[in-house]
Copies of this chain bind each other. A is one copy, B any other.
Amino acid sequence: MADIVQTAVRNNLLRLMTPATFSAISTHLDVVDLPRAFELSEPHEEAEYAYFPETGIASIVARSPQGQHAEIGIFGRDGMTPAAVVLDAGSDPFSIFMQVQGDGFRISTALLKSLLDQDADLKNLLGRYVQALSVQGAFTSLSNAVHHIDERLARWILMCHDRTDGDEISLTHEFLSIMLAVRRPSVTTALHVLEGRKLIYSERGMVIVRDRPALEEFAADAYGESEREYFRLLGPYS
């Protein structure tokens, strides 16, 4: 692909690369569309491409043998996939797919791997991202264990809002119920709670953030820790 100017890029990891690393990697980046439900990586399969989203949101979902599932993390312009490339692990047991459509860059995993082997700065940068991601997963786990549905929903909306440009996030209740690992009607009522408190507007296929500070206050104990850790490791991404 032609010239990509680093300062015009929105993906935070690409932005944080040293100029030398960026120019090495950018010649191999392809621009790609990332439509909703697009699979970035499938469980137990070695991914052909690594993706660095510019916009949109991707979801990382773990599935049990009997088909139960729960989201363990999300990323957008703050991240990349697959983490397994960074750790030389080949594959991971998760589904990773787009949940809010967007666009971004891709690069063959083989190429990225060889760049990682030659470039300690890059390995270090992506290593820090892997840590941030796994911390996010850990706090998702905590939240699944101890927080009520409406708080978890608030947390989740905030995390999407962080990775979105406006205040509108296009999502169905069905989708949210999968992410939070609850029944679909539970999402409906939880959304009503947030709406009743004037924190959001809820429309067909769409959640609109109305009062972000109040939403953060509502999510309170559920939101913030993993964001602080990301900031410490990689700075702001919005």
Chain A interface residues toward B at CB < 8 A: 60, 62-66, 68-70, 72, 83-84, 86-89, 92-94, 117, 120, 124, 127-128, 130-131, 133-135, 137-142, 144-147, 180-181, 220-222, 224-225, 228-229, 233
Contact = CB atoms under 8 A, between A and B. Distances in A.
A146 B70 contact: yes
Contact of A88 (B68, B127, B140, B221): B127
A141 B137 contact: yes
Give chain A's interface secondary structure class: helix
Q: How many copies does the complex hold?
A: 2
A137 B139 CA distance: 10
Nearest to A84: B131
Contacts of A224: 65
A146 B144 CA distance: 9
Contacts of A93: 135, 138, 225, 228-229
A79 to B, nearest CB: 14
Contacts of A141: 62, 70, 72, 137-138, 140-141, 144
